[in-house]
Amino acid sequence: MTQNNIEKLPSNPIEAQGLLIKAMYNRFGEEVLPIIKDICRKQGKSLGLKSKKKLPNCNLSTVAKAFAKSFDQNYVKIISISDNKFQIHGTKCPFSLENTSRELCEAVMAIDHEYFREAVNDKIELKILKTVAEGDPYCDTIYEIKREL
């Protein structure tokens, strides 16, 4: 068997989930995005509830530090971390969404957004400034507590 005939298999459950998400998106297009977002949101909520039970407090910095333990340090760098803002840069998508679409990235990022909303508070805002899904060289993601006016 030549190298070209070897099927690339996912190396972990997140990559496998990414394969399923991309297959659905490729088959159904934008029509499937609300379904992907809803399921990802539920996954994030579940993960956030579990994290909240394990942590000593629910400050953004505490939750962000726990969240960061799941990162592959070769691909993700923490830019800033405080009780008001958490910013990261990543050069590889754990779901392998590189060069797909910003909209698909935003739907999948409902996992992380809901995780922080559940574990910290519902005032967390997610900003995706750059994304490898859209072809950017790295992702630039900010989780920030909305300020009350």
Mean pLDDT by 10 residues, the chain (149 residues): 68 95 97 98 97 94 94 92 97 95 98 97 96 98 88
The CATH code of domain 12-145 reads 3.30.1380.20
Q: Do the beta carbons of residue 20 and residue 95 sit within 8 Å?
A: no
Return the closest-CA partner of residue 116 out of 70, 71, 67: 67
Tokens of 98: 């590189």
Contact 120, 59 (CB under 8 A): yes
What is the reported pLDDT for 1?
43
pTM: 0.90
Residue with tokens 């957004």: 113
